[in-house]
Amino acid sequence: MALLEHDSSPNAWRRESPGVAGWDRTIRPDDPRKLFVVSADCHANEPPMYLEERIEPEFRERLPHLVRREDGSEWLVTEGNSPQRVKGAPGTVQERAGSRMDDEDMRRNASGRGVAERLADQDADGVDVELIFPNKGLLCWATPDPVFAMAMCRAWNRWAHETFSPGGWHGGRTLPLASIAAGDLDGAIAEVHWAAEQGFAGLCLGNSAVYGPKASGKPEYNDPVFEPLWSEIEDTGLAVTFHVSTGRDPRAVTGAGGAIVNYVCHSMETTIEPLVQLIASGTLSRHPGLRVGLVESGIGFVPWLIETMDWAHKAHHFWVRPQLDELPSEVFRRQCFATFQEDHAGLLAAEQHDLVDNLMWANDYPHHEGSWPHSAASVERQMGHLRPESRAAILGLNAARVFGLPVTR
């Protein structure tokens, strides 16, 4: 694997590549036969007042907001999460943490604020189309009040439509997904209908119907009450996604190792349950036109997931209700997908487990977890073992099929 000599920066690993010997097509922008590439997970960079300017007046005092404490630290306060420190008190370890960012890290923090900048950045990264999810707007779900959550989602959707839709969605390259808080069932159904009329690329639902810890009596996606929502979505043809950090407070653990614990256990894995609910309850079997995907949580767990669902379906048959007419893995392969940025374990299993058609790559622009602005190197590190047709499917053709995108290369 090629390394940049004498480069000791914390982001040097992002530029490592084994090269493309034997590849017939790549995602490198200067490749005359460049692959059609869709980043199935990117993020907006919303301006500070975007919600206040669009939400109904009765909700404005409840919006997420910053509080400065007497020690000089700053905290983000929401209704559904514990306060999140965004700036440490002067002289503390938390304040000094920002100094660990190099120029590339700072560039990520500041990128994606304008459409022209996004298009230029994605051109340089080899991306033809980006599907856009919230950034600050991930907090739209962070309240146990589903009506308030839907009001924030509705305001985000209006901002996204104003920002990305003029001029025909910028040639079909910047495509936001509409945010939906399903716990407000009537509001959610109305917003799905509006989003379809406005040409949104798909939908993003919170990982729980109502935000917060699991509790007996809280509505879940396997509840029959949501049948009208699934019918409405199926009628529109819009794909459903579940994005990390939208179901409950992702910063549940403090202390040693908290950053890694929270990322792995309280952000990433929360996408799994809503999908299992829809498969195990028979919802997807009853609605074969629904397409449902997990976003930014990776793909390495997918072979385990479908095998474990099948095992429970067979070994616990005496408990399982409803009795499905097909294995959960069949439902997943027919109607579901998952996105990733860099996931070597998942890609090693992709062809072996017949999952190529269910996987979508993303550069997660402009987030630190993503591969931008070194996506070619990232792709080359993890996809050299795949067949050319598998690379083409995962890098763009699967997303084009699910989201109805024209293939331009």
279/332 Cα distance (integer angstroms) = 8
If one counts every other C-beta atom within 10 angstroms of the C-beta of residue 380, the result is: 21
284/275 Cα distance (integer angstroms) = 9
For residue 176, the cross-strand partners are 132
> Taking 60 as the threshold, does the pLDDT of residue 167 lie above it?
no
Q: What is the share, in percent, of the chain residues with pLDDT greater than 70?
A: 95
pLDDT at 93 (0 to 100):
60
365-400 tens-digit pLDDT: 999 898 999 999 999 999 999 999 999 999 999 999
286/306 Cα distance (integer angstroms) = 19
Q: Do residues 106 and 9 lie in contact, with contact meaning Cβ atoms separated by under 8 Å?
A: no
Instruction: Find the mean pLDDT for residues 295-305.
Output: 97
pLDDT at 103 (0 to 100):
83
Buried/exposed 213-230: b ≥16 CB within 10 Å, e otherwise: eeeeeeeebbeeebeebb
pLDDT at 191 (0 to 100):
98
Instruction: Find the mean pLDDT for residues 203-232.
Output: 95
Distance of CA 112 to the CA centre of its chain: 16
pLDDT grade for 7, boundaries at 50, 70 and 90: low
Q: Which of 23-27, 105-109, 268-272 has the lowest mean pLDDT?
A: 105-109
**Dihedral through CA 204, CA 221, CA 184, CA 232, nearest 10?**
70
Nearest residue to 266 via CA among 217, 304, 205, 214: 214
Distance of CA 278 to the CA centre of its chain: 18
pLDDT grade for 169, boundaries at 50, 70 and 90: low
> Taking 80 as the threshold, does the pLDDT of residue 107 lie above it?
yes
pLDDT at 4 (0 to 100):
47
Domain boundaries, the chain: 18-61+112-403
Instruction: Find the mean pLDDT for residues 133-148.
Output: 97
SS3 380: helix
231-283 tens-digit pLDDT: 999 999 999 999 999 998 888 878 888 888 888 888 888 999 999 999 999 99
Nearest residue to 355 via CA among 380, 386, 376, 377: 386
SS3 301: coil
Q: What is the share, in percent, of the chain residues with pLDDT greater than 90?
A: 76
164/342 Cα distance (integer angstroms) = 27
169/163 Cα distance (integer angstroms) = 9
Instruction: Find the mean pLDDT for residues 202-222.
Output: 94
Q: Do residues 167 and 238 lie in contact, with contact meaning Cβ atoms separated by under 8 Å?
A: no
Instruction: Tell me the residue type at 134.
Output: P
pLDDT at 105 (0 to 100):
82
β pairing state of 359-361 and 336-340: parallel
Tokens in use for 133? 């999810």
Q: Rounded to a whole number, what is the largest CA-CA distance in the chain?
A: 62
Nearest residue to 48 via CA among 68, 69, 76: 76
Name the residue with higher pLDDT: 306 or 83.
Answer: 306
pLDDT at 257 (0 to 100):
87
Nearest residue to 227 via CA among 287, 292, 179: 287
β pairing state of 84-87 and 74-77: antiparallel
> Taking 90 as the threshold, does the pLDDT of residue 78 lie above it?
yes
Q: Do residues 351 and 386 lie in contact, with contact meaning Cβ atoms separated by under 8 Å?
A: yes
pLDDT at 261 (0 to 100):
87
> Taking 50 as the threshold, does the pLDDT of residue 1 lie above it?
no
SS3 129: strand
Instruction: Tell me the residue type at 239.
Output: A
The full DSSP string for 203-219 is EEE-SSSSSSS--TTS-
Instruction: Find the mean pLDDT for residues 342-356.
Output: 97
Tokens in use for 341? 């940025």
If one counts every other C-beta atom within 10 angstroms of the C-beta of residue 384, the result is: 16
142-157 tens-digit pLDDT: 999 999 999 999 999 9
31-55 tens-digit pLDDT: 999 999 999 999 999 999 999 999 9
CATH T-level assignment (fold) for domain 18-61+112-403: TIM Barrel (3.20.20)
Instruction: Tell me the residue type at 299.
Output: I
63/80 Cα distance (integer angstroms) = 11
For residue 2, the cross-strand partners are 17
The dihedral region occupied by 378, where left means phi > 0, alpha psi between -120 and 50, and beta the remainder, is alpha
E strands, 17-56, where?
Answer: 38-43
pLDDT at 158 (0 to 100):
97
HSE-CB of 300 using CA atoms within 13 angstroms = 9
Instruction: Tell me the average pLDDT of the chain.
Output: 92
198/190 Cα distance (integer angstroms) = 13
Name the residue with higher pLDDT: 13 or 37.
Answer: 37
Instruction: Find the mean pLDDT for residues 49-62.
Output: 97
- Please identify which residue in the block is written with the tokens 């120029």: 103
